[in-house]
Amino acid sequence: MRFPETRFPLVVVVGPTAVGKTALSIDLGKRLDGEIVSADSRLFYRGMDIGTAKPSLEERSAVPHHLIDVADPDETWSLALFQRAARRAIAGIHARGRLPILVGGTGQYVRSVTQEWRLPAQPPDPVLRQALENWAGETTTEGLHARLARIDPLAAAVIEPRNLRRTIRALEVIFHTGQRFSSQRQQLPSHYELMQIGLCRPRAEIYQRVDQRIDAMLQADLVAEVAGLIAKGYSPDLPAFSAIGYREVIAYLRGEYSIEECILLMKRATHQFVRRQANWFKETDPSIHWFSIRDDDPTTLNRVIDQILLGEWLDPADGR
């Protein structure tokens, strides 16, 4: 794996939930003397371990990880804050003479680093935010997102429909500036030499892996994890708890669903999320090199790693 000396190297591993990013990135980190920078917004929060499928302590000890467990659930980590922290982490890895590996399924967080986004500088407006929250209370979070989609389809396309905080931020900037939120995100040529790797699997296989992961989360007592966080005083209405798994378990604890309904909703929502993730990465960045791996052929992951190390890239359309 060779990079020009004119720019700093950065390996990027993307793909939908449960595709196998953790295993591949850890193997690459071991073989390339690398360190991993997480670009998964769910992994920021301390105490939210089971429901986010956070890499285990053993995995994190095998290869250094950054931007995991950096905030409490009641702290807000904005895209701009992540961008600054990720760039600092990458610079530190380069300074140590090691290779940074940016890994994640949160597309905007990855792009904010790889594409040098200049984010809108509009300061928060508490009064407008409260008004938008009240509007969401009347129309639902998804209803507010639908209104954003009519005003700025490009911004809405990269914001999870149930992510109220990011929907409100986009509308806040639009109403203050009179311009589309998406048009204000300037991007400049990356100052990194990028090697972007995308992982994909047959859709039915990913769904099966998702379902198995969710069953394992419940067996590991995700319900107790959520109940414990609420018992510590964290409000169940925090934005961090809008993540898939946490919101369904909170509804179960409130008596709104049975545990069986909770599990079904978690699986259904994650399947939908997988589709959005896969489509977003493939539609927004043709420079990603895609590799297909399969559970019925466990050697494919090793072959992918060998191809990456040797620079024997597959056609970007492979595995679509």
pLDDT at 320 over 60: no
State mean pLDDT over 244-249. 96
Measured CA to CA, the distance from residue 196 to residue 177 in angstroms comes to 34
Tokens of 73: 């659930």
Least confident of 60-74, 107-121, 194-208: 107-121
Q: Average pLDDT over the chain, rounded to whole?
A: 87
Q: pLDDT tens digits, residue range 296-306?
A: 776 777 778 88
Longest dimension (CA), the chain: 59
Predicted confidence at residue 143, as pLDDT, reads: 93
List, for residues 139-182, the tens digit of each pLDDT value.
Answer: 899 999 999 999 998 888 878 787 888 899 889 989 888 888 87
Q: What domains are defined for the chain? A: 8-119+186-310 (3.40.50.300), 126-184 (1.10.20.140)
- Report whether pLDDT(1) > 80: no
pLDDT, tens digit, for every residue of 250-275?
999 999 999 999 999 999 999 999 98
Distance CA 210, CA 251 (A): 20
Q: Which residues pair with 291 in a beta bridge?
A: 199
Closest CA to 102 of 36, 52, 3: 36
